[in-house]
């Protein structure tokens, strides 16, 4: 829960402090990104999610606000979580979130980047050990944006209900994403 709260507060603070910067004359107009990502569950902190699998699609509007940083408004129209322990009980839903990226190459908004993002998710079905249908997905990753508009990213993702329910066994996943910018 502390990681989700910290990432959420950092992203919201970035949004409030950069609103005026985004409106500056000559600012980069922003871009849309679509992405499909997925990966296996991990065994961390005494919770074994190996054998589980996360798959999600993302649509993002990304707006640069400095020579290295951008902020994105993210929609997850599809979120699927397959649980080995619950047989055919696939959890599915969608969500909204924010993403923050740091690009190493100045003013290009491509090349190597670091990112942090957080999402609120609503879903049908329950994740084992989690008593809520409202959860938060936070991630940290490293990616690369190619000149032709393609990008790829490797992320560590954590899903939990942030203490909304006393049953809050978290999910840790390592995902690989492939997307396109337009």
| Domains, the chain | 2-19+31-181 (2.40.160.20)
The two beta strands, 111-124 and 69-82, are unpaired
Q: What is the C-alpha R_g of the chain? A: 17
The two beta strands, 150-160 and 171-181, are antiparallel
Q: What is the pLDDT of residue 102?
A: 98
CB 109 within 8 A of CB 32: no
CB 155 within 8 A of CB 139: yes
Distances (CA, A) of 112 to 14, 38, 102: 21, 20, 9
Q: What is the pLDDT of residue 21?
A: 47
Least confident range from 10-19, 60-69, 76-85, 139-148: namely 10-19
Least confident range from 8-22, 33-47, 64-78, 87-101: namely 8-22
Q: Tell me which of 126 and 38 has the higher pLDDT.
A: 38
| Averaged pLDDT of the chain | 86
Question: Residue 166: pLDDT band by 50, 70, 90 thresholds?
Answer: confident
Q: Is the pLDDT of residue 126 over 70?
A: yes
Write the CB contacts of 49 (distance below 8 Å, at least 6 apart in sequence): 41, 42, 43, 171, 172, 173
- Give 54's Cβ-side CA count (13 Å radius): 28
CA–CA dist 74, 32 (Å, integer): 10
Question: Residue 46: pLDDT band by 50, 70, 90 thresholds?
Answer: confident
Write the CB contacts of 134 (distance below 8 Å, at least 6 apart in sequence): 120, 121, 122, 161, 164
Look at the block and give the residue holding tokens 């994740």. Answer: 127
Look at the block and give the residue holding tokens 């609120």. Answer: 120
Q: Is the pLDDT of residue 24 over 70?
A: no
Give me the percent of the chain exceeding a pLDDT of 90: 62
CA–CA dist 133, 79 (Å, integer): 13
CA–CA dist 52, 67 (Å, integer): 39
Q: What is the pLDDT of residue 88?
A: 60
Structure-block tokens of residue 158: 């954590």
pLDDT digits (tens, 9 = 90+) for 60-88: 999 999 999 999 999 999 999 999 876 66
* Average pLDDT for 161-166: 82
* Average pLDDT for 132-138: 93
């Amino acid at each position: 829960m502390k990681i989700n709260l910290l990432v959420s507060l950092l992203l919201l603070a970035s949004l409030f402090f950069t609103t005026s910067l985004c409106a500056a004359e000559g600012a980069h107009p922003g871009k849309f990104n679509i992405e499909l990502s997925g990966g296996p569950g991990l065994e961390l902190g005494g919770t074994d999610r190996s054998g589980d699998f996360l798959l999600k699609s993302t649509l993002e509007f990304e707006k640069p606000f400095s020579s290295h940083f951008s902020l994105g408004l993210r929609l997850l129209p599809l979120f699927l979580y397959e649980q080995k322990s619950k047989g055919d009980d696939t959890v599915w839903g969608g969500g909204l979130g924010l993403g923050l990226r740091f690009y190493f190459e100045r003013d290009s908004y491509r090349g190597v980047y670091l990112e942090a993002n957080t999402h609120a998710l609503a879903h049908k079905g329950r994740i084992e050990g989690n008593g809520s249908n409202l959860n938060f997905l936070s991630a940290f990753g490293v990616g690369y944006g190619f000149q032709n508009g393609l990008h790829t990213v490797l992320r560590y993702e954590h899903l939990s209900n942030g203490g909304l329910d006393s049953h809050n066994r978290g999910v840790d996943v390592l995902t690989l994403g492939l997307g396109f910018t337009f």
